[in-house]
């Protein structure tokens, strides 16, 4: 399954589950017997408000779980791409740098550049393990993303950390981004790390 299909599947799951909850909420209001599943017999006050509050909490939980599912799908695909790129780049650097060293060794031309540390050329490449987090991806793409997209990625990282660690502000923060916003941002970033140069956004064209 492609990244777009994985992200779309997570987004569709959210839409489907939300529709089911909307139907169940309406049915709980219309049908007293069905509503008893969610209400205590001792409930006082407007039962509609209590049912709405109950389903609002369920919808929020589903939103959070689907967002985590979407981010997990993104991570799975983006880190596979990181591994592939790291291996290719490391091989090219080692091969080309050492090739230049051999040319220099066999040439008397003063125009050839020296190749210090040629025996350890690949060691200068960032270790793939250093990039195995969303923060690592953000650091890798530093200054390569439009400012607004970079800020949204930071927002998503903070929100994911916040959700994953018990909604503690010490390890993240809540977000005003919708699940639709997150779906769009992750798709955009994945496109930008592919084989093709992406079309510039409106904000990039103004620069």
> Where along the chain do its domains lie?
3-199
Q: What tokens appear for 30 in the block?
A: 């219309």
Question: How large is the average pLDDT for residues 25-45?
Answer: 75
Q: What is the mean pLDDT of the chain?
A: 81
Residue with more model confidence, 200 or 60: 60
CB 15 within 8 A of CB 71: no
Residue with more model confidence, 165 or 206: 165
Q: Strand locations in 32-166, DSSP E?
A: none
Looking at residue 29, its pLDDT comes to: 85
Looking at residue 113, its pLDDT comes to: 60
Question: How large is the average pLDDT for residues 19-25?
Answer: 94
Under the banding of pLDDT at 50, 70 and 90, the label for residue 48 is confident
Please count the other Cβ atoms lying within 10 Å of the Cβ belonging to residue 145. Answer: 19
Q: Out of 17-26, 119-128, 186-195, pick the least confident.
A: 119-128
Under the banding of pLDDT at 50, 70 and 90, the label for residue 206 is very low
From the list 171, 174, 149, the residue with the least C-alpha distance to 161 is: 171
d(CA 156, CA 150): 10
């Amino acid at each position: 399954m492609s990244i777009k299909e994985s992200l779309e599947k997570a987004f569709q799951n959210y839409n489907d589950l939300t529709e089911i909850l909307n139907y169940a909420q309406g049915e709980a209001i219309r049908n007293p017997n069905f509503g008893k599943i969610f209400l205590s017999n001792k409930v006082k006050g407007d039962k509609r408000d209590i049912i709405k509050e109950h389903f609002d909490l369920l919808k929020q939980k589903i939103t959070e779980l689907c967002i985590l599912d979407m981010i997990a799908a993104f991570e799975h695909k983006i880190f596979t791409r990181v591994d592939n790129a790291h291996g290719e780049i490391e091989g090219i650097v080692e091969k080309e740098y050492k090739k230049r060293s051999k040319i220099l060794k066999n040439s008397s031309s003063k125009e050839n550049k020296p190749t210090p540390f040629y025996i350890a050329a690949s060691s200068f490449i960032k270790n793939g393990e250093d990039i195995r987090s969303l923060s690592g991806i953000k650091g890798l793409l530093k200054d390569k993303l439009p400012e607004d997209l970079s800020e949204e990625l930071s927002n998503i990282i903070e929100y994911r950390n916040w959700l994953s660690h018990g909604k503690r502000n010490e390890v993240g923060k809540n977000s005003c981004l919708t699940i639709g916003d997150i779906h769009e941002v992750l798709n955009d970033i994945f496109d930008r790390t592919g084989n093709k140069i992406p079309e510039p956004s409106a904000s990039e064209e103004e620069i």
